[in-house]
Amino acid sequence: MSSPVPSERVRNIGIIAHIDAGKTTVTERILFCTGITYKIGEVDAGTAVMDWMAQERERGITITAAATTTRWQDYQVNIVDTPGHVDFTVEVERSLRVLDGGVVVFDAVAGVQSQSETVWRQADRYHIPRIGFINKMDRVGADFWHAVGMIRERLNARPLPVQIPMGQEDAFQGVIDLVGEVAITFPEGENEVTVSPIPEAFREEAKQRRDQLLEGIAEVDDQMLISYVEHHPVTPLELKKAIRRATIAGLVNPILCGSALKNKGVQPLLDAVIDYLPSPFEVPAVSGVNPKTGEVVTREPREDQPFSALAFKVVADPYVGRLVYFRVYSGVLKQGANAYNSTRGQRERMGRILRMHANRREDLESIGTGQIAATVGLKHTFTGDSLCDEAHAVLLEAIKFPEPVIAVSIEPKTKEDQEKMGDALTRLVEEDPTFKARYDKETGQTIISGMGELHLEIIVDRMMREFGVQAHVGRPEVAYKETITQPSRAEGRFVRQTGGRGQFGVVWLEAEPLPRASGFQFENKIIGGAIPREYISAVEQGVKEALETGVLAGYPVIDVKVALVDGQYHPVDSSEIAFKMAGSFGIQEAMKRAKPVLVEPVMRVEVATPDEFFGDVLSDISSRRGQVTDVDHRGHLRVVAAHIPLAETFGYATVLRSITQGRASYTMEFDHYHEVPAAIADQVAGRMQGAVRR
C-alpha cells in the first residue's frame, strides 16, 4: 500500500446518502472487494470497519465521517463514508468541500428521501460530479425506474442509467451493462463477477435502454452528437469517454444499481468510480486570496506549484493525540517540514503524516497534490484553516457551518468532574464546528448547543466515556434568537470622570434588519476623523459582544447590520475600553428602538406513513403549529412534507410511533428561522426572566 500512486490515478470520493440507504454497507463491501478487509463488516452486527466509534456500533448509524484508502485496478481510491443523519450534516459539508467526486446511494424502495435532497444540494454547491447507486434492489417494493424518475424530478438532475437491473425484489439476478452490452452476475459468496452475453429475455429492453443512453449523452456531448446523428456505431470506449466528459462537467449523473448487502453490483460501481469520476488533476484550479494584499490567487492542481491545503477535520485521537485531516490542492509536503497557517497567521511544523484506514493508520514520508491525509502536531490549526507555503501565502475559502438550533444545560457532579468537563468541552468544540459551549453568568450553568437531540446525546455520551465526566443534563431547550424589524438610530455614551484620567467615548450607531441567514455586518461610515481609526475595531467588538445577549429575553441577536455613523472622542480620556463600552450601550439602545422580535428554528419534517394513518398524522402536524408543504404517494405510503417549529417537535418520535402503530418513519432537519407568535414569545421571555431571578 505504501508505494506512491501518480495523482492522475487517484480518486477522492465520498459516499453520501439519506440515513439507512446503505452507505456504510456499500463502503464495507468496497473494502472487502478490494482486499482491504478479509471479512465483511456488518452495520447491524456492529462489526463495520468504518463505524469504529462505540456509539456508532451500538446505534448502527454513522456519526463521524471516516476516511480510508484502497486500491482498485492500479488506482488509489480515497473514500470518505459520511453520516446520513441530519444532526451530523457538518460531517457531510466538510467532506464534500475537499472531495472530487461523490457516490450518492439511494434506496430502491424509498427512492429520493429528504436527506438525499440535502446532500445533493450540498454537492451542487461545491460543483461535485457524482454517480448514483440505487441500492437494495432485492428488497420487496424495489423499483429501479421509479427511483430514477424521482432523481430527475425531485433533484432536478439528469440521471443517465448506464446499467439496468435483471429482475428486481427476490428475482434480482444481476445487472446489464449498457455501455459494454453484457450481463454481469454475482455468484453467491464469491468476490468475482461473471460476465456473459445478455440473456434473450432482456435483449429487447437492453437495446431500447442503450438507445436512450446514446440519445441522453448526445444531448450534452458534441462528439457523441455527430456519431448519433450520422448513425456511426459507437464503441464502449468512446461511450465511456463521452460519459466521463459529461459527468465531470456536471451535465449528467450515471446511475448504477445493485444490492450491497448481498455483494451485488459493488465491483461495477468501483469500475464506474474509475471510469467516470475525476482525478485531482481534472478538477478546476482552487482559488483564494493573498492574506497580505487581498488579491485573488489561484493554485493549479500540480506538484510544481507552491504548497496549499485545507484542514477539514480535527479529531482528538486517543492514541496519537490531536489529528488534523487535510486535503492537498497543490505542491508537495514532506514530514517534518514547516507550513504556514494563513487563516491564523501562525507557523506550524508538520509532525507525522498519516494515511488513514478508518481508525488505523500508515506513516508517509510526503504527501502530494490531490491526496488526503492526517497529521499530528499542529497546535493552532482548526477546521476550515488554510495551510500553505509562507513565501506564497494563500487563504482558501473556509467551510461554512450552520448555527446550532437546540441547547441543554449541563452541570458536573463533582469538583473533579468540573475540571474534566472543561477539557472535554474544549476538545469537542475543536472537533465539531456545529457544537458550541458557553457559560451563562446569570444562571451559573454551562450551556451546550448543537444540531439536534441525537447530536447532543452523542456529545454527552462521549464526554462520559472518553473523558470520564459525570454530569447532570437538563431538558433540551430551543436555541431561540432575536432580531430587529425596523431601522433605528441611537447614541452610545461612556463618560466617567473620577479625578485624574477619565474615560470618554461617544458613538452614534444605525441598526437595520437583514434578510434571514445573513448574519452580522458592521460598517464604518465615520468621515473626517470624528473617531480615530484605532478605536473603530473596539466599537465593533463592543457591538458584537452586546449582540450575544438580546434585549427581549437574552438570546443572541442575528441578521442585523450596524453602521457607525458619528461620534466624539477626547484626546486624553478616550481609550479602546471606553469606545467598546460606548458601542455596547449604543447597540442595546438601538435594539430597543428597532422593534425587536424573537425568532425560532423551524424544521423541515418528512413523514412516510401508510394510507390508513394519513389523517392522524396530518392532524398531529397541525396541532404542532405545523404547515404542510407537500403530499406525495410512494407505493402504498403517503409522504407528507411540513414545516414545524422545533419547540413543538420534542418527543415527536414517540407520538408518531403511537398514532401509526410503529409503521411510520420520519426525518427532520433545520430549515429556517421564523418569528415567534406574540403569545409564545411572551411565555419564553417570562421563563428566561424567571430563570435569571432564581
- Res 121 pLDDT > 60: yes
Q: Which of 451, 501, 447, 450 is nearest to 474 (CA)?
A: 447
Q: Which fold has domain 482-594?
A: Ribosomal Protein S5; domain 2 (3.30.230)
pLDDT number for residue 56: 39
357-391 per-position pLDDT tens digit: 655 678 888 888 888 888 888 888 887 888 999 88
Contact yes or no for 484/511 (Cβ under 8 A): yes
115 by DSSP, 3-state: which?
Answer: helix
584 against 58, higher pLDDT? 584
Instruction: pLDDT band for 84, please (50, 70, 90 cuts).
Output: very low
Cell of 565: 455613523
pLDDT number for residue 273: 94
pLDDT number for residue 151: 92
104-114 per-position pLDDT tens digit: 999 888 888 76
- Res 63 pLDDT > 50: no
CA–CA dist 472, 633 (Å, integer): 44
Backbone angles phi, psi at 411, to 5 degrees: -125, 125
Instruction: pLDDT band for 83, please (50, 70, 90 cuts).
Output: low
User: Which ranges constitute the DSSP H helices of 130-199?
Assistant: 144-154
Identical fold for domains 406-477 and 599-680, yes or no, is: yes
Backbone angles phi, psi at 25, to 5 degrees: -65, -40
Instruction: pLDDT band for 66, please (50, 70, 90 cuts).
Output: low
CA–CA dist 100, 82 (Å, integer): 15
Lowest-confidence pick of 27-36, 134-143, 611-620 = 27-36
Contacts 24+ apart (CB under 8 A), 353-357: 354/320, 354/323, 355/1, 355/69, 356/66, 356/67, 356/68, 356/69, 356/325, 357/36, 357/68, 357/69
pLDDT number for residue 94: 65
* DSSP structure class, residue 280: G
Lowest-confidence pick of 36-45, 74-83, 320-329, 365-374 = 36-45
pLDDT number for residue 682: 85
- What is the rounded average pLDDT of the residues 435-442? 77
CA separation (Å) from 296 to 306, 342, 394, 429?
A: 15, 14, 9, 31
Contact yes or no for 122/97 (Cβ under 8 A): no
Q: Structurally, what CATH architecture does the domain formed by 599-680 represent?
A: 2-Layer Sandwich (3.30)
For residue 297, count other CB atoms closer than 10 A to its CB. Answer: 18
Q: Which of 69, 95, 81, 64 is nearest to 11 (CA)?
A: 69
For residue 245, count other CB atoms closer than 10 A to its CB. Answer: 19
pLDDT number for residue 55: 45
- What is the rounded average pLDDT of the residues 188-214? 87
Q: Are strands 333-334 and 10-17 parallel, antiparallel or unpaired?
A: unpaired
Q: Which of 64, 123, 107, 170 is nearest to 428 (CA)?
A: 64
Q: What's at 624, amino acid-wise?
A: R
Cell of 164: 439496468
Q: Are strands 159-161 and 253-257 parallel, antiparallel or unpaired?
A: parallel
486-526 per-position pLDDT tens digit: 999 999 999 887 766 788 999 999 999 999 878 899 999 98
Instruction: State how far Cα 471 lies from the chain centre.
Output: 29
Instruction: pLDDT band for 691, please (50, 70, 90 cuts).
Output: low
134-177 per-position pLDDT tens digit: 999 988 888 999 999 999 988 889 999 999 999 888 888 899 99
2 against 468, higher pLDDT? 468
| Residue ranges covered by each domain of the chain | 7-282, 286-396, 406-477, 482-594, 599-680
Instruction: pLDDT band for 627, please (50, 70, 90 cuts).
Output: very high
CA–CA dist 410, 445 (Å, integer): 7
34 by DSSP, 3-state: which?
Answer: coil
Lowest-confidence pick of 353-367, 403-417, 569-583 = 353-367
- What is the rounded average pLDDT of the residues 228-234? 78
Contact yes or no for 115/121 (Cβ under 8 A): no
User: Highest mean pLDDT: which of 25-29, 162-166, 603-607?
Assistant: 162-166
- What is the rounded average pLDDT of the residues 262-291? 90
Q: Which of 435, 507, 510, 421 is nearest to 464 (CA)?
A: 421
CA–CA dist 504, 574 (Å, integer): 5
- What is the rounded average pLDDT of the residues 575-589? 93
Instruction: pLDDT band for 639, please (50, 70, 90 cuts).
Output: confident
pLDDT number for residue 432: 76
271 against 8, higher pLDDT? 271
Q: Which fold has domain 406-477?
A: Alpha-Beta Plaits (3.30.70)
DSSP per-residue string spanning 610-626:
EGGGHHHHHHHHHHTT-
Share of the chain above pLDDT 70, in %: 88
Lowest-confidence pick of 267-281, 313-327, 660-674 = 313-327
Question: Which residues does residue 340 pair with via DSSP β-bridges, in sequence order?
Answer: 347, 388
- Res 274 pLDDT > 90: yes
Share of the chain above pLDDT 90, in %: 30
Give the CB-side neighbour count of residue 580, counting CA atoms within 13 A: 9
Q: Which of 90, 63, 53, 671 is nearest to 384 (CA)?
A: 90
Q: Which fold has domain 286-396?
A: Elongation Factor Tu (Ef-tu); domain 3 (2.40.30)
CA–CA dist 214, 502 (Å, integer): 81
- CATH 1.10.390.10 holds for 7-282: no
Cell of 401: 457551518
430 against 54, higher pLDDT? 430
Task: Give this prediction's pTM.
Answer: 0.70
